[in-house]
Every structure is written in C-alpha cells, then in structure tokens.
C-alpha cells in the first residue's frame, strides 16, 4: 500500500469532496480521484462513495481513515521532533500571518529579519483562515487573539489598538451630526461590537469585511470607520475620532510545542519581540 495514495484518500475523507482534497493538497480533483481509485483497486474494496458533489467514506474507508490519521499524527510528531533539534538558525521558516499584517508591516519586518539572520529564508503565507500548526502547515503563526490555544507555545508580542477615524475635513461635521455616519462590519449586527456607546446614535452607511475597505471609506469622507492605530498614525488625511477598545487584540507569536527550541523559531521570536516593541509603542491618539 502506497502511503501517497493513502494520503490522497485521507484528504478526501476529511474534506468531504475531491475538489476540497485537491485544494488542500494543491493538486487537481481528477488527480485525487485517480489516486483514490488506485488505492481501492490495490485493496480490492470500495473506500469512497459519491453523494452528488460530496463524498463520504464507506465502512471500510472509515476504518482506514482512523488508522491513517493515527499514522499521520505519528509521522508529524516525528517530523516536528526532528525539526525542533536544529541548533543553528538556518533553512526555511514558514510563517503565517493575517492579511492585514502581510500588507502593511510584515514586509518591512521580514527584510530587517533577513538582514540580521541571512541564513534563514522566510516563507510567508497571508492567511484568510488559520493554518494548522499541528499539521505542519506552518512553523509559526502571528495571530490577533486574546485567547491563544493552550496546546501551542506562545509569546505575546504587543497590544494592537484600534480607533474610529474619518477624513480630517469631515471630522467637525461628524462630531456635530445628531446621527453619526458609520461603516460597520458585515456580520449583520445592528450595532458594531466595537462602537462606544458614549458616542450616541449612528447610522450605518456601508458594511465591510476587510480593514482595507474601512480605511478606504474613512479616506473618502463618506463615513467614519474602524482602523488600527499603527496604520492610522501613517495617514496624514485622517483624524482619530475616538478609541475603540473593544476591537483591540493582543498579537501573539505561536508555534507547536515541539518547535519551541528550534533555532529558527527562537531567532524569529527574539526579533519579533524587538520589532513589535518599536512598531506599536507609538500607537495612540492623533
């Protein structure tokens, strides 16, 4: 039995479709289906059943899935253990971070880190979702959270604060408005969770699911919007209307516990502590 074929089957059983498995494995769905079919022919048993665009494991497939997941976890643990033995900071370090950081501060940070530690190559993934460190989808993760997972080794880097801001020319009119124009989130809440009650009544002009859209709306002057303070201080045409403490989050550097003594991870961690102290120390009102 070829482990690669088992790996394609396992991804199919876990994702619930050939297309989902293909996306996860970064191959076409036809390749996934072909490899699963080869495994079924070798074993002489049906492992996957189709239900429209979805699939599910047969009884035999479910048994193989459980055993394959156990084997995969043992292999990943061995891989993490070996990777964690590195004594010198050299080689690849796979970093995942929120798109907001990747599009603002992280490129500058990455350039400075590689000047200090040239033997380490950073592979950075801007993640909309969260990559799984247990599955070795990344070595370290930068995440905005006040509740980091207990199963991961973590280091708090900074408190990232947010504010409500608007185009400077519109600030006076906004303060005087009885019902203040505001951009909200796309979560369909009537009141954004970060809106300070002391600011009074508001009217939602637009809803966004991305901080860059909030920034664009604030710059347009159509309404106030939520922006991070580290970003706001670089925008000469915006003014801070009020802090939004409910939106503030800690920035954490997370790694699997087996990787916490890895030289690359330790070097990157020390660097991030220093650079975040400088990057976020000056955030605040303007």
pTM: 0.65
> In the CATH scheme, what architecture does the domain 3-83 have?
Orthogonal Bundle (1.10)
The per-residue pLDDT for range 80-108, each reduced to its tens digit, is 555 554 566 678 899 999 999 999 999 99
The per-residue pLDDT for range 191-207, each reduced to its tens digit, is 999 999 888 899 999 99
> In the CATH scheme, what architecture does the domain 91-161+249-280 have?
3-Layer(aba) Sandwich (3.40)
Degrees to nearest 5, angle at CA 265 with 82 and 147: 110
Structure confidence at residue 42 (pLDDT): 86
Query: Picking from 4-8, 149-153, 199-203, which range would have the lowest pLDDT averaged per residue?
Result: 149-153
* Angle, in degrees to the nearest 10, between helices 18-25 and 29-43: 110
List the structure tokens of 137. 């989808």
Same fold, 91-161+249-280 and 162-247: yes
- Report the SS3 class of residue 253: strand
Share of the chain above pLDDT 90, in %: 42
Across the chain, mean pLDDT equals: 86
Domain boundaries, the chain: 3-83, 91-161+249-280, 162-247
Whole-number Å distance between alpha carbons of 141 and 94: 9
- Mean pLDDT of the 275-281 span: 83
For domain 162-247, give its CATH number from 3.30.70, 3.90.1200, 3.40.190, 3.15.10.
3.40.190
Whole-number Å distance between alpha carbons of 11 and 24: 7
- Report the SS3 class of residue 156: strand
* Angle, in degrees to the nearest 10, between helices 18-25 and 3-15: 120
Structure confidence at residue 128 (pLDDT): 67
- Mean pLDDT of the 154-172 span: 93
How far is residue 83 CA from its own chain's centroid? 23
Taking 90 as the threshold, does the pLDDT of residue 245 lie above it? yes
Taking 90 as the threshold, does the pLDDT of residue 62 lie above it? no
Residue 284's pLDDT band (boundaries 50, 70, 90)?
Answer: very low
- DSSP H/E element including 157: strand 152-160
Nearest of 98, 12, 13, 24 to residue 59 by alpha carbon: 13
| Gyration radius of the chain over CA positions | 24
Instruction: Tell whether the torsion through CA atoms of 48, 50, 56 and 59 is positive or negative.
Output: negative
Pairing between strand 120-127 and 91-98? parallel
Structure confidence at residue 260 (pLDDT): 77
Residue 170's pLDDT band (boundaries 50, 70, 90)?
Answer: very high
Q: Which residues contact 228 (CB under 8 A, 6 or more apart)?
A: 100, 160, 161, 162, 163, 211, 283
* Angle, in degrees to the nearest 10, between helices 106-116 and 263-280: 130
Pairing between strand 91-98 and 140-144? parallel
Taking 80 as the threshold, does the pLDDT of residue 112 lie above it? yes
């Amino acid at each position: 039995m070829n482990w690669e074929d088992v790996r394609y089957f396992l991804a199919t059983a876990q994702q619930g479709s050939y297309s989902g498995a293909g996306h996860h494995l970064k191959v076409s769905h036809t390749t996934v289906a072909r490899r699963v079919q080869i495994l079924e022919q070798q074993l002489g048993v049906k492992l996957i059943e189709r239900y429209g665009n979805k699939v599910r494991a047969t009884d035999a497939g479910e048994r193989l899935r459980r055993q394959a997941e156990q084997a995969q976890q043992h292999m990943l643990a061995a891989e993490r253990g070996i990777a964690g033995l590195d004594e010198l900071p050299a080689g690849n370090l796979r970093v995942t971070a929120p798109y907001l950081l990747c599009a603002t501060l992280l490129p500058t940070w990455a350039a400075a880190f590689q000047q200090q530690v040239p033997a380490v190559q950073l592979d950075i993934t801007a993640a909309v979702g969260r990559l799984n460190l247990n599955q070795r989808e990344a070595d370290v993760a930068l995440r905005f959270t006040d509740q980091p997972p207990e199963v991961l080794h973590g280091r708090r880097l900074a408190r990232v604060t947010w504010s409500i801001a608007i185009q400077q020319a519109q600030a006076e009119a906004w303060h005087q408005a009885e019902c203040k124009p505001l951009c909200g989130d796309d979560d369909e809440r009537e009141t954004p969770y970060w809106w300070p009650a002391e600011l009074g009544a508001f009217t939602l002009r637009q809803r966004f699911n991305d901080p860059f859209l909030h920034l664009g709306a604030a710059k347009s002057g159509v309404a106030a919007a939520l922006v991070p303070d580290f970003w706001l201080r670089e925008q000469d045409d915006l003014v801070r209307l009020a802090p939004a403490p409910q939106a503030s989050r800690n920035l954490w550097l997370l790694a699997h516990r087996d990787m916490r003594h890895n030289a690359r991870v330790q070097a990157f961690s020390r660097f991030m502590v220093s650079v975040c102290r400088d990057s976020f120390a000056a955030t605040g009102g303007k």
